[in-house]
């Protein structure tokens, strides 16, 4: 029994170790950029050639990762989280104290007008500030995530050539296919969490979130490796214990609070570390097991999502020619 479970436990521990250990590459990645650019300049420079100016592109990219991480922390932690904390724990208590003082009421007594005003203020704050800032943060974060992934990929692979380019049609369909699969899988994870079985719903729901967050983190590296969406999904399903361990820290930290927006802010702050950790992984080496150990049984958790997405794409493909025929007649 223990020999059958050993590959699952080993892959899980490897994924958990890579997730935590490789996240600390953020601390040294910009230094490695600077050392790499200085070594390249010194080896390529002629002895009698004048020294290049400081404002080169390599030096301007040297602090790219840390600066983007700082901006992410300031935007998500400083603006969104601090805004919520100041409103709930500073503004509302002060307003409540003023209301009781002006109304001449005891602070221990409950007041329906006060509760009504608090609800109005909370909804107004959420509608006019928190929700718009949260939506803007999703677009801003996606840009910073991609920029961090580009910088880490070029550094770790020592690749100075441009990244592999796809045709426009394939690129758009690839992104849409991946996005729709992830949306369906997120809905699947949410539905599992709603199952009225106290322990199992949390266990299986968090397992699905671990795999989904690993999918998010590794997707940048797999795009650079020119893998199709189905190849990425196959990797998740074949080596699911590894990705279960890799996504566990991010899942636990980003589902701790009851507020969805607070959890999303924490996810946005921590996700770049997961990108760095995933891009740093030598995947073929880390998932290799001794030949004496049994193979891992695949976990086809994305099968339903792939069928739904493929069905949706087929419907869109069949609809397009019919609309063309009707317009030409």
Decide if 59 is inside a domain: no
The pLDDT of residue 109: 62
Identify whether 47 is part of a domain. Answer: no
Who wins on pLDDT, 263 or 155? 263
Most confident of 12-26, 90-104, 107-121: 12-26
- Across the range 127-156, mean pLDDT stands at 73
What's the token pair of residue 55? 């404002």
Quick: pLDDT tens for 174-212.
667 777 887 888 788 878 878 888 888 888 888 988 998
* Sign of torsion over alpha carbons 225, 231, 234, 238: negative
Residue 249 has pLDDT above 90, yes or no: yes
How far is the C-alpha of 185 from the C-alpha of 208, rounded, in Å?
Answer: 8
In a domain, 243, yes or no: yes
CA 209, CA 217: separation in Å to the nearest integer?
12
State the pLDDT confidence band at 155, using cuts at 50, 70 and 90: confident
Asked if the model's pLDDT at residue 92 lies above 50, the reply is yes
pLDDT classification of 54: cutoffs 50, 70, 90: very low
Q: Is residue 57 in some structural domain?
A: no
Asked if residue 40 has pLDDT above 60, the reply is no
Helix (H, G, I), strand (E, B) or coil at 232: helix
Q: How many domains does the chain have?
A: 1
Q: Residue 49 falls within a domain, yes or no?
A: no
Per-residue confidence band for 173, with pLDDT thresholds at 50, 70 and 90: low
Q: Is the pTM of this model over 0.75?
A: no
Q: Residue 215 is part of which domain span?
A: 2-38+64-328
Region 46-56 average pLDDT? 49
Given a cut of 70, whether residue 161 has pLDDT beyond it is no
CA distance 92 to 76: 22
Banded model confidence at residue 320, pLDDT cuts 50, 70, 90: low
| Residue 296 DSSP SS3 | coil
| Residue 220 located in a structural domain | yes
pLDDT for 63 equals 64
Quick check: is 218 in a domain?
A: yes
Mean of per-residue pLDDT scores for the chain? 76
Residue 55 resides in a domain = no
């Amino acid at each position: 029994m223990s020999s059958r479970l050993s590959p699952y436990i080993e892959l899980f521990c490897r994924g958990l170790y890579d997730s935590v250990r490789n996240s600390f590459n953020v601390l040294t990645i910009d230094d490695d950029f600077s050392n790499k650019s200085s070594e390249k300049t010194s080896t390529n420079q002629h002895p009698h050639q004048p020294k290049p100016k400081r404002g080169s592109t390599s030096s301007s990219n040297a602090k790219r990762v840390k600066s983007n991480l700082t901006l992410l922390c300031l935007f998500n932690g400083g603006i969104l989280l601090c805004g919520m904390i100041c409103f709930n724990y500073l503004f509302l208590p002060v307003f409540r104290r003023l209301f009781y003082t002006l109304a001449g009421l005891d602070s221990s007594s409950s007041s329906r007008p006060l509760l009504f005003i608090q609800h109005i203020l909370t909804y107004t704050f959420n509608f006019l500030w928190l929700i718009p800032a949260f939506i803007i943060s999703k677009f801003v974060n996606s840009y910073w995530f991609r920029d961090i992934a580009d910088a880490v990929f070029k550094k770790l692979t020592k690749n100075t050539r441009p990244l592999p380019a796809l045709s426009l049609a394939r690129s758009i369909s690839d992104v849409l296919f991946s996005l729709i699969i992830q949306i369906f899988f997120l809905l699947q994870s949410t539905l599992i969490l709603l199952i009225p079985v106290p322990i199992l719903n949390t266990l299986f729901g968090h397992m699905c979130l671990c795999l989904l967050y690993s999918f998010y983190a590794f997707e940048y590296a797999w795009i650079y490796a020119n893998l199709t969406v189905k190849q990425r999904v196959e990797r998740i399903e074949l080596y699911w214990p590894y990705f279960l361990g890799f996504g566990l820290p991010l899942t636990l930290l980003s589902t701790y609070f009851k507020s969805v927006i607070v959890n999303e802010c924490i996810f946005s702050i921590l996700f770049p570390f997961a990108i760095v950790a995933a891009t740093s992984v030598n995947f073929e080496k880390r998932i290799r097991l001794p030949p004496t150990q049994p193979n891992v049984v695949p976990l086809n958790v994305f099968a339903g999502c792939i069928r739904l997405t493929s069905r949706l794409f087929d419907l869109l493909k069949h609809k397009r020619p019919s609309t063309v025929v009707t317009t030409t007649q």
